[in-house]
Amino acid sequence: MNQVYNQLLSEAKDAVQLFSSECAESLHFEIPKQAEHGDLALSVSMQLAKLLKQNPRLIAQRLVEVLSEKPSYKQWALPLEIAGMGFINIRLSPLALQNTVVEILQSTTRYGFQATKNQSVMLEYVSANPTGPLHIGHGRQGVLGDSLGNLLTTQGYQIHREFYYNDSGVQIDLLTRSIVMRIQGYQPDTDDWPENNYNGEYIVDIAKEYCHWQNLTYPYKSLVTDEHKDKIRQFAVAYLRQEQEKDLSATRLRFDQYYLESSLYIEEKVQEVVDLLTSSGYVFELEGALWLKTTAWGDDKDRVLRKRDGSYTYFVPDIAYHLSKWRRNFKSVINIQGSDHLGTMPRVRAGLQIVASVLGLTIPPNYPSYIFHTMVRVVKGDTEIKISKRSGGYITLREIIEWASCDAFRFLILSRKPDTEYIFDVDLARAQTNENPVYYIQYAHARIGSILRKADGVDHSSKDLDLSTLNSPSAIALALKLWYYPSFLTQISEDLAIHKLTFYLRDLAAEYHRYYDTEKVLVEDLKIRTDRLALIKATAQVIHNGLAILGVSAPESM
């Protein structure tokens, strides 16, 4: 939390309450884009003017008179100013910013955290078919989901991370057939090899491992029985789950639960949904297929439930899965998926609404929420890399991590909005220059660590720490950047805008470097030395905290 911010906002709400309780409840500070407009601003005078039919500048003047008598404004703010039509500009006193440094040193890793909320949020991400290695798209949504979970945790939410394994259906059948044919010695790019088979070298690895496990000679030219095919299917899914676990581990991704699609069939949850949909009156038969009238619930066209061959389309188990989320008491769910799944949203929501209407459940029409991300291209040197022998096509996630690093991958991939296409530059990710933003930020942290080690033993543990010498323009600018951090986290969490944290950290590192170039820290004067060490130690702590949200390390030396 930020004690000064909270006190100022609380007393501002008390002042606005004298005019309107509704305006007081929704009151928030704005962050001016130009420094000459102050550190914080209130624009509520214009809102009150419309409500009360009065001049906004006169309302602003009355607010300033009330606020100027409030204890926190006397303690933490310089004289208030009225600008324009009635903006109230607030400038923090040096004491407020010095107090922030003390608060950071006391709170350490908890600086920026808000009080615990009695609200759970499920984040579902990656959720790949166990048919091959994870690719960079899985990595993008993985680090996005993981970091959003970290961000929401700082705001007091209880986070549940879930991976939905699509271990049933056509793709698993194709995987099994591909391995069977490799076991029998068939090769891709031959007349006998189906076009939609999986071609990567990992298929050969699975085939060889299976033969070794069954004491079969590879290639196994004899007939592969149905019993063998069932074993191959189970073996392949287990093998690829282990391989994907290695991909997840390399990217520092973790989950609270792995939910199997197959369990929805075993526990007859898919059949339950089909029965509920059929009883709803929104199901009809056409040309031998069973259709769901999703257009009645906001979809752009009706959808096939059961194909003519008797198999269900993939969105049927999706409805069953999301019904299970609701029944598990996850009322806030965010699904993170590639933009190729954009069509999933309306049909899943429509299906859920139909099921809810039959069961008498009140599921919001916008449940679940979605974040869609676009593709990522990989560039190395001047060349775009598309083909991987191991995968048979796409670049695997582990290859990217091996080329660059987990830190660089996570930071750079998070530095753009999810719906923005991104070119991942391997050379930039590996560069140890200021052009590489993650290196630039980590270097600032390591640089502070070096200074603190040289200082050796300065005690900043006291809550009554006096940092009165931190009053120069460069010290004030750096402390102000630290002061914004908690409210900044709250703002970006409301918008789920995790990419903005990468820019904040880059700006903070730049502010530190400016301070370092302006003022020497290890001076002879003990008081000045102690105060400046406190400021840079607090800066290192906020860099550490911000990088931790992104899942990026903060090295003590480089």
* Inter-residue contact 43 to 496 (CB < 8 Å): no
**Could you read off the pLDDT tens digit of each residue along the chain, which spans 558 residues?**
678 999 999 999 999 999 999 999 999 999 898 888 899 999 999 999 999 999 999 999 999 999 999 999 999 999 999 999 999 999 999 999 999 999 999 999 999 999 999 999 999 999 998 999 999 999 999 999 999 999 999 999 999 999 999 898 888 999 999 999 999 999 988 888 998 899 889 999 999 999 999 998 999 888 778 888 999 999 999 999 999 999 999 999 999 999 999 999 999 999 999 999 999 999 999 989 999 998 998 888 899 998 998 888 888 999 999 999 999 999 999 999 999 889 889 999 999 999 999 999 999 999 999 999 998 999 998 898 876 656 667 888 999 999 999 999 999 999 999 999 999 999 999 999 999 999 999 999 999 999 999 997 777 877 778 999 999 999 999 999 999 999 999 999 999 999 999 999 999 999 999 999 999 999 999 999 999 999 999 999 999 999 999 999 999 998
pLDDT at 227: 85
pLDDT at 163: 97
Backbone angles phi, psi at 309, to 5 degrees: -80, 0
What SS3 class is residue 527? helix
* Inter-residue contact 248 to 135 (CB < 8 Å): no
Q: Is the pTM of this model over 0.95?
A: no
What are the pLDDT digits (tens) for 463-490? 778 999 999 999 999 999 999 999 999 9
What are the pLDDT digits (tens) for 208-218? 999 999 998 99
* The domain over range 3-92 is classified in CATH as 3.40.47.10: no
Distance CA 285, CA 15 (A): 64
pLDDT at 385: 85
3-state helix, strand, coil in the chain (%, to 5): 55, 15, 35
* Inter-residue contact 241 to 130 (CB < 8 Å): yes
pLDDT at 387: 62
pLDDT at 220: 84
Looking at residue 393, the DSSP 8-state letter turns out to be: B
Residue spans of the domains in the chain: they are 3-92, 170-232, 437-550
pLDDT at 107: 95
Find how far residue 42's CA is from the centre of its chain: 30
* Inter-residue contact 260 to 167 (CB < 8 Å): yes
Give me the chain's average pLDDT, please. 93
**May I ask the CATH architecture of the domain 437-550?**
Orthogonal Bundle (1.10)
Distances (CA, A) of 326 to 128, 271, 322, 335, 354: 22, 18, 6, 13, 14
Whose CA is closest to 278, among 259, 258, 305? 305
